[in-house]
């Protein structure tokens, strides 16, 4: 399985190397595309992001998935408002 490494800092500033499978990265990329193509409302975007985070096995993986979604949205030139609703203080 091909994996993609993501470097992310936790709340204490400690760098974490999280590994996501290629299929996870592609799924997150598809979610980002779908959010923008369907012009979802803020509440629908929040629901999609929350579902993505809750599908992870632990808190670090949840945070990593949301970080990757935000990264994909930025790469697609999503508005700051769209990116902001994908942030959950209790997770990221």
4-61 pLDDT tens trace: 444 444 444 444 444 567 677 788 999 999 999 999 999 999 999 999 999 888 888 8
Report the chain's C-alpha Rg in angstroms: 13
Residues 4/22, Cβ–Cβ less than 8 Å: yes
Main-chain dihedrals φ then ψ at residue 19, nearest 5 degrees? -115, 130
Centre a 10 Å sphere on the Cβ of residue 35 and count the other Cβ atoms it contains.
22
pLDDT for the residue numbered 8: 46
Residue written as tokens 């809750």?
A: 54
pLDDT at 19: 54
**pLDDT (0 to 100) of residue 52:** 92
Confidence of residue 92 (pLDDT cuts 50, 70, 90): low
């Amino acid at each position: 399985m091909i994996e993609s490494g993501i470097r992310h800092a936790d709340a204490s500033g400690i760098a974490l190397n999280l590994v996501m499978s290629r299929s996870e990265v592609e799924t997150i990329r598809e979610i980002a595309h779908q959010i923008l193509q369907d012009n979802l409302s803020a509440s629908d975007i929040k629901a999609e992001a929350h579902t993505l985070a809750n599908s992870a096995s632990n808190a670090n993986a949840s945070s990593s998935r949301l970080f990757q979604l935000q990264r994909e949205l930025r790469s697609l030139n999503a508005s700051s408002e769209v990116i902001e609703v994908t942030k959950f203080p209790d997770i990221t």
